[in-house]
Amino acid sequence: GAVVSQHPSWVICKSGTSVKIECRSLDFQATTMFWYRQFPKQSLMLMATSNEGSKATYEQGVEKDKFLINHASLTLSTLTVTSAHPEDSSFYICSVAGTRTSYNEQFFGPGTRLTVL
Amino acid sequence: GENVGLHLPTLSVQEGDNSIINCAYSNSASDYFIWYKQESGKGPQFIIDIRSNMDKRQGQRVTVLLNKTVKHLSLQIAATQPGDSAVYFCAENMEYGNKLVFGAGTILRVKS
């Protein structure tokens, strides 16, 4: 499968600041990238779907102005949490899909732990 | 469908026993299902998948069963090992696009 990395693996920030999380597909052209959020002891919830070169499609209830997604290349997508607040503290996970994947298969990154103080 | 913030159910098994993890999915139109394993602080790891035109698929030490009549999916792990301890999620692919919807998850604890 595809090798997916995320940076940083964890970040602590002050309330009101913005945080950028990178998702890289190291050996795979990711035409589609997904961003998920996972709160402690809960499942993964899809936040948005981004296609390379297009605007992201956000799930219902996810503020697009707060969670800025950029998928400028086939190997990189970024998620920026703007004006972060403690309730944004979560585990953010990206996944990739593309022409090399089989039927709707996704490959997941290792996740980024965000803690907002 | 939407998952909600509930405590995850826990399955405790003795090392060497077989484990069965169950999942109810939400959309009868879903046509592709995947089981993922997630260890603490890591992203989900693919275990096995199954398409809706099948009712059983076997991998190495794992078997997935699909019952479309009752919208139920199960993961069987043979000879469970301590390294199998993790949270297990089922995911369904909705008929539109590549979106995956994850189930609530089950914690598997293997006792040595």
CB contact under 8 A, A103 and B51: yes
What is the spatial order of strands in the sheet that A67-73 belongs to? A4-7, A19-25, A76-81, A67-73
Among candidates A32, A49, A111 on the partner chain, residue whose Cβ is nearest the Cβ of B42? A111
Whether A60 contacts chain B with CB within 8 A: no
CA–CA dist A45, B27 (Å, integer) = 16
CA dist A45 → A41, A63, A79, B36 (Å): 12, 14, 15, 14
Q: Most B CBs within 10 Å: which of A33, A104, A115, as the mutation test of the B interface?
A: A104
Query: What is the distance between the alpha carbons of residues A115 and A81, in angstroms, rounded to a whole number?
Result: 12
- Phi/psi at B24 (5° precision): -105, 130
What pLDDT, on the 0 to 100 scale, is given for residue B4?
Answer: 42
Neighbours of B18 (CB within 10 A): 12
Distance in angstroms (rounded) separating the CA atoms of residues A110 and A108: 7
The amino acid at residue A24 is: R
Report CB contact under 8 Å: A111, B41.
yes
CA distance B18 to chain A (A): 24
> Apex CA B37: angle with CA B36 and CA B39, to 5°?
145
Q: Which residues of A touch B8 (CB under 8 A)?
A: 41-42
Do B100 and A46 lie within an 8 Å CB cutoff? yes
Q: Residue-wise pLDDT tens for chain A (117 aa)?
A: 789 999 999 999 999 999 999 999 998 888 889 999 999 989 999 999 998 888 899 999 999 999 999 988 889 999 999 999 999 999 999 999 875 555 567 899 999 999 999
Tell me if A111 and B49 make a contact (CB, 8 A cut-off). Answer: no
Q: What strands, in cross-sheet order, belong to the sheet with B56-58? A: B19-24, B72-77, B62-67, B56-58
Please give the average pLDDT of every successive group of 10 residues along chain B, which has 112 residues: 60 97 91 94 94 95 96 97 97 76 95 93
Distance from CA of A82 to the nearest CA of B (A): 23
Q: Could you tell me if A57 and A49 are in contact, meaning their C-beta atoms sit under 8 angstroms apart?
A: yes
Report yes or no: A75 and A18 within 8 Å, Cβ to Cβ: no
CB–CB contact B102 A107 (8 Å): no
Contact A41 B7 (CB under 8 A): yes
- The set of residues, in sequence order, having a beta carbon less than 8 Å from that of B26 and lying 6+ positions away, is B1, B71, B92, B101
| Spatial distance between the Cα atoms of A39 and A116, rounded to a whole number of angstroms | 13
B83 C-beta neighbours (distance < 10 Å), count:
9
- Interface probe with A: pick from B23, B45, B54, B99, most Cβ of A within 10 Å: B99
Antiparallel, parallel or unpaired: β B106-111 and B10-14: parallel
Position B2 scores a pLDDT of 41
List residues of B whose CB lies inside 8 A of any A CB: 2-3, 5-8, 32, 34, 36, 41-46, 49, 51, 89, 93, 97-105
